[in-house]
Amino acid sequence: MDNPRYQILLVEDEPGIAELLQFTLADAGFSSHNVATVQDARAAIAVQCPELVLLDWMLPDGSGLELLKEWRRSATTSTLPVILLTANGMDEDKICGLNAGADDYITKPFSPRELIARIHSLLRSSRPEVARLVDVCGLIVIDSGRHLVTVADAVVKLDQSEFRLLKFMVAHPERVFSRAQLLDKVWGDEAFLEERTVDVHIMRLRKSLGVAASYIKTVRSVGYMLDASRD
How much is the pLDDT for 133? 66
Q: Residue 140 sits in which domain range?
A: 135-226
Is residue 231 in a domain?
Answer: no
Average pLDDT, rounded, for the chain: 85
Strands (E), the chain: 7-11, 31-35, 52-56, 58-59, 62-63, 82-86, 104-107, 134-137, 140-143, 148-151, 154-156, 177-178, 216-219, 223-226
Q: Is the same domain home to 93 and 141?
A: no
Q: How many structural domains does the chain have?
A: 2
- Given 83, 99, 126, the domain boundary residue is 126
pLDDT at residue 5 in the model: 60
In a domain? residue 1: no
pTM: 0.56
- CB contact set of 140 (below 8 Å; sequence gap of 6+): 149, 150, 151, 166, 170, 209, 212, 215, 228
Tens digit of each residue's pLDDT (9 = 90 or more) over 45-58: 988 888 899 999 99
In this structure, are 69 and 102 located in the same domain? Answer: yes
CATH number of the domain bearing residue 190: 1.10.10.10
- Choose the final residue of a domain: 104, 126, 148: 126
Q: pLDDT, tens digit, for every residue of 169-220?
A: 988 888 999 998 898 888 876 556 788 889 999 999 999 999 999 999 999 8
Residue 2 lies in a domain: no
d(CA 90, CA 107): 9
Q: Are 123 and 81 in contact (CB under 8 A)?
A: yes
- The mean pLDDT values, 10 residues at a time, for the chain of 231 residues are 65 93 87 94 90 93 92 86 83 82 87 86 67 75 81 88 90 89 80 79 94 93 86 49
Of 87, 107, 126, which residue is a domain's last?
Answer: 126
Domain check: are 109 and 56 in the same one?
Answer: yes
- Looking at the structure, tell me whether residues 111 and 149 fall in a common domain: no
Pair (115, 32) in one structural domain: yes
